[in-house]
Amino acid sequence: MRLADTLNNSLQNPADFAHGPAFPLRPIRSFVRREGRMTHAQQRALADYWATFGVDAVAGLLNLEALFGRSASRTLEIGFGNGESLATMAAAHPDEDYLGIEVHRPGVGHLLLRATALQLTNLRVLCTDAVEALDRQIPDDAFDRIQIFFPDPWPKVRHHKRRLIQAERVTLLVRKLKPGGQLHVATDCEDYADVILALFNAIPELENVAGDGGFVPRPVWRPLTRFEQRGQRLGHLIRDLLFTRRVSGDHREQNA
């Protein structure tokens, strides 16, 4: 049967929808693919260097020790943009491993160029939807730090549903942290910062590093990005949120 016939039949039989729509609903994405034009260098990087740094979106959980070839402290960055700050951190801490997730290919290509130029061996990249990766590929209790720097604020109220950090996703983020691991977010959007702060403070498994339950100064390990420097010139207030996953009694007994 043709798709048009199926649709017509569905319209003629409303009772068919009594138990839900005939077709699966599209998930609300936290991004729109406005990639623009990729440079030749970025295209070349994806072709030549993906095999070195890239992680394919295959079924099943990643084996991070096998992926990096060792056991080390691990950081996950979600939405790394052009990857400059992530490459800087990986270069500054060769004894730690970094996994970055970014959906926009020009940014991935830029990071691959930087990683190659810096001869990084402690960096891997996923080019996919971060929420799907967290749900399907990233194991629980895997990272010492998860960082999300300057996520798209989707400033219009009708677009707030597209924001990456939502109540139902915070628990998912926390699960991916090791007990004692840190969740670090930076944003220059005032109302988004307040929303994230309230969400994190409401999670019993999270402890705010800020003694007053608010924001922290920029930690020394977070490099200044060009985006951030531009925001500062425009008078934007940058806020850092730093939380730790509490160590439960069960985890303390396991490590005793």
Segment 78-135, tens digit of pLDDT:
999 999 999 999 999 999 999 999 999 999 999 999 999 999 999 999 999 999 999 9
Instruction: Please provide residue 35's backbone torsions phi and psi, each rounded to the nearest 5 degrees.
Output: -75, -25
The H or E element spanning position 178 is: strand 177-187
Q: Are 242 and 219 in contact (CB under 8 A)?
A: yes
CATH number of 38-255: 3.40.50.150
What angle do helix axes 105-117 and 84-92 make, rounded to 10 degrees?
30
Binned at pLDDT 50, 70 and 90, residue 7 comes out as: very low
Q: Which of 48, 152, 240, 250 is catalytic?
A: 152
C-alpha separations of 74 from 79, 98, 142 in Å: 16, 6, 8
Tell me the helix, strand and coil percentages in the chain, rounded to 5: 40, 20, 40
DSSP string, 109-158: HHHHHHHHHTT-SSEEEE-S-HHHHHHHTSPTT-EEEEEEES-----SGG
Where in the chain are the domains?
38-255
Q: Are 100 and 107 in contact (CB under 8 A)?
A: no
pTM as predicted:
0.83
Residue 140 a catalytic site member = no
Segment 212-228, tens digit of pLDDT:
999 999 999 999 888 78
Segment 132-151, tens digit of pLDDT:
999 999 999 999 999 999 99
Instruction: Please provide residue 9's backbone torsions phi and psi, each rounded to the nearest 5 degrees.
Output: -65, -40
Q: Which residues pair with 75 in a beta bridge?
A: 98, 145
